[in-house]
Amino acid sequence: MIISQLPPQLLAIEVNTPEKFSSTADIVIHLLDTNDNVPKFSSDYYIARIPENSPGGSNVVAVTATDPDSGLWGEMKYSIYGTGADLFLIHPSTGIIYTQPWAILDAEVASKYNFYVKVEDTEGKYSLAEVFITVLDVNDHSPEFNENIQEKTMIIGSPVKVEAIDQDAEEPNNIVDYSIMQADPANVFDIDQSTGEIKLKSYIRSLDIIHNITNNKDCIWSLVVQAKDRGSPSFSTTAVLKIDITEETLRKGPMAAFLMQTKDNPMKALGVLAGVMGVMVMITILISTAMFWRNKRSNKIMPVRRIIKKRQNYQSRTIRMEWLKFKRSSNAAEKFAVEDDTRSLQNENSNNNFQVPPPPPPAAPAPPPAPVFRVSAPEWRVPTVSGSLSSQVGSKPMKKKGASCTANNALVSELKQRFEMRNAALGHPHV
């Protein structure tokens, strides 16, 4: 509410008296406020950090809001809501956010929380802001080995590895450094500080050198390995490592090397063997299924041996005219005879599953083409052609018999008649 004091004053003067007495009074006007403003936060979002080992009820952050209204309309109330607000509370009047009395913050479980805060006046007008809370990691875990006493097999030339895990959420609390605390003899092994790989000194390349260093013929040595994190304060743990040193077996084959490397972990070897057998079984099933469906679709049983089929020789049945080739034939029907090769109906394996289709029926002979008469140039001389035909016919010995001689004589006579008709049409003398 805003109070405004106005400077004007109220003046009262007598009218009907000669003294004209007067008096003044101050005028004070009080303006009544209405709820015409919305409460607002000082920021749209708030960022806070809290260590993970903080006890329950620890303050996290304070949010502030203002409302220009006065009186009843200026009273504000804070509240929080959202999925990440389960572990936190807020004071309704001051806006201070603090953890639940029973809350346990663990950065390894959840390191980020966010929710909304709400401020509202008595009439229900409100505004929102978002809160982001980060749980800071504290070095409260020490590195841990899988086993406090471990057994490894080392092949000369190949390292063995130890590993410790730190459950802290952030660096450098979860970074582990490795070191050899105790070894007998002391100058045989080296360890990588970051990876935990243990290997022999570079000058040790055979078991003979190891035998010269120590009298221990078993070549089984024990080391005390320490794993230490980089947090503050720092935590560490140790483990005893028994190493069995053997000669290099990679030259004997990859299987021997694999078995040697999996000596300490037989389940790994069994898993690899089971995987190989599973792949082989799947391949066998796929091949069998493919062959079954192929035989089922073909609807026949495939033989064990390969069937060699003889290709049928279909000779061409082109009809050749005797009067064009001047070929003698004792029987004209022989030209159209169809020979059936009964041996081609069966394959060499005598498997009659394959039905050979019968040969097609013989086609009827094509009729001879009609003779075509062409008008030749005037310089072509019939006597020359006629003389050559007559001389050729006369020069051949008459050794043919029967229908062949008759067909030749008829053909020559027909040709002579056609030449005579042609000469008569062209006006040439008859020869």
Lowest pLDDT segment from 122-136, 193-207, 287-301, 360-374: 360-374
Residue 244 CA: distances (Å) to CA of 160, 184, 207, 247: 11, 14, 11, 10
Burial 45-73 (b: 16+ CB within 10 A, else e): ebebebebebeeeeebbebbbebebeeeb
Nearest to 41 by CA among 14, 3, 81, 79: 79
Structure tokens at 367: 């009729």
| Section 325-344 average pLDDT | 48
Q: What was the pLDDT predicted at 311?
A: 61
Confidence of residue 427 (pLDDT cuts 50, 70, 90): low
Tell me what the mean pLDDT of segment 297-310 comes to: 58
231-242 residues labelled b (16+ CB within 10 A) or e (exposed): beeebebbbebe
Most confident range, picked from 65-74, 291-300, 387-396: 65-74
Q: Identify residue 391 by its one-letter amino acid code.
A: S
Distances (CA, A) of 106 to 47, 110, 135, 230: 18, 6, 7, 19
For residue 233, cis peptide bond before it (omega within 30 degrees of 0)? yes
* Residue 300 backbone phi and psi in degrees, to 5: -155, 160
Q: Angle formed by the axes of helices 266-298 and 254-261, to 10°?
A: 130
Distances (CA, A) of 307 to 184, 303, 312, 351: 76, 8, 15, 8
Look at residues 77, 55, 191, 189 and name the one whose alpha carbon lies nearest to residue 124.
77
Judge whether 304 and 344 are in contact, CB under 8 Å.
no
Q: Can you tell me the distance from the alpha carbon of 13 to that of 24, in angstroms, rounded to the nearest whole number?
A: 9
Residue 50 and residue 60 in contact, taking contact as beta carbons nearer than 8 Å: yes
Q: Give the predicted TM-score (pTM) of the model.
A: 0.48
Instruction: Report the pLDDT value the prediction gives residue 377, as an integer from 0 to 100.
Output: 46
* Residues with Cβ within 8 Å of residue 334, at least 6 apart in sequence: none
d(C-alpha 239, C-alpha 243), whole Å: 13
The predicted-structure confidence for 97-147, as pLDDT tens digits, reads as follows: 999 999 999 998 999 999 999 999 999 999 999 999 999 999 989 999 999
Q: Which of 335, 321, 319, 426 is nearest to 371 (CA)?
A: 321
113, 72 in Cβ contact below 8 A?
no
